[in-house]
A and B are shown apart, each in its own frame.
Chain A
Amino acid sequence: KAGVTQTPRYLIKTRGQQVTLSCSPISGHRSVSWYQQTPGQGLQFLFEYFSETQRNKGNFPGRFSGRQFSNSRSEMNVSTLELGDSALYLCASTWGKMAGGLDTQYFGPGTRLTVL
C-alpha cells in the first residue's frame, strides 16, 4: 500500500509570491491534516480536511488556506509569502472516523519550502 505522497519535495520562492503544495493520502483515508515544521516553533498544526470540508484549524493567518478534493487529495496554499514561511510542510492522513475516537496519523515526507 502506497504511503502519503507530497509534491513537490523542494520549492524555492521569493517574498510576495504564492505557493501551492499537494498531498495524496493513503488509499481509503479520508482525512488530511497539514503541519508546519520550523526550527523555532517546532511542529504546528495548520488545518484538517475531511470529505472536502475543513474540520479543524490551527492558529495561522488567513494567508494559509487549503482544500480537499473528492478523491481526498488535498492542497494547501500560502499567499504573499514571507521569509518566516520557510519551513517543512507535512501532511498526514487518517481514516477520519466521524464518530469520534482517535486513529493514527500517517505522515508524508514533507515539502521543504524556502522563501528568499
Chain B
Amino acid sequence: GQQLNQSPQSMFIQEGEDVSMNCTSSSIFNTWLWYKQDPGEGPVLLIALYKAGELTSNGRLTAQFGITRKDSFLNISASIPSDVGIYFCARQLGIQGAQKLVFGQGTRLTINP
C-alpha cells in the first residue's frame, strides 16, 4: 500500500554524466517528494510535486510526477562531485494536519572524478 520502490539502489558514474532514478508505488497518491542526504546530515528537500504530470526543475535537477500518479523520476544533468549522496523519494501523509513521511529505500550516487 504505502511502500515505495526506488531504483536503482546505487549508481556509479563519471563526473559530467547525467543521472536518472525513479520511484514507483502500487497505490495512487497526491504528492511526490525528492530528498537528498549528504553523509553525516539529515535529508534535505530538493523538489516537491503535487500534481499528476507536473515537471519541476531545481537547477540541474528535474523531477516529474507520473500521469498515473504511481511513479516519479528524478534526473540530474551534468553531475558534479557535490551531487554525491543518497537520494530518496517520499510521500507525505497528512491527516488533520498530522505529518508523516514514507520514504523509498534510497539511491546511493557515487561519482568518479
Residues of A at the B interface (CB closer than 8 Å) are 4, 31, 33, 35, 42-45, 48, 50, 55-56, 58, 90, 92, 94, 96-110
In the complex, the answer to whether A98 meets B42 with C-beta atoms within 8 Å is no
In the complex, the answer to whether A108 meets B99 with C-beta atoms within 8 Å is no
Chain B residues bordering chain A, tally (CB within 8 A): 23
**Chain B at the A interface: SS class:** strand
Q: Lowest 4 CB-CB distances: which A-B pairs, in order?
A: A107-B42, A43-B103, A56-B98, A55-B98
In the complex, the answer to whether A98 meets B96 with C-beta atoms within 8 Å is yes
The total number of A-B Cβ pairs within 8 Å is: 69
In the complex, the answer to whether B100 meets A104 with C-beta atoms within 8 Å is no
Residues of B at the A interface (CB closer than 8 Å) are 31, 40-45, 48, 88, 92, 94-106
In the complex, the answer to whether A42 meets B99 with C-beta atoms within 8 Å is no
In the complex, the answer to whether B99 meets A107 with C-beta atoms within 8 Å is no
In the complex, the answer to whether B41 meets A56 with C-beta atoms within 8 Å is no
Q: From A4, A33, A109, give the contact of B99 (CB < 8 A).
A: A33
Cα–Cα, bound, A71→B99 (Å): 19
**Distance in Å from the Cβ of A6 to the closest Cβ of chain B?**
8
In the complex, the answer to whether A42 meets B106 with C-beta atoms within 8 Å is yes
The interface residues of chain B lying within 8 Å CB-to-CB of A105 are 45, 92, 99, 101
In the complex, the answer to whether A104 meets B45 with C-beta atoms within 8 Å is yes
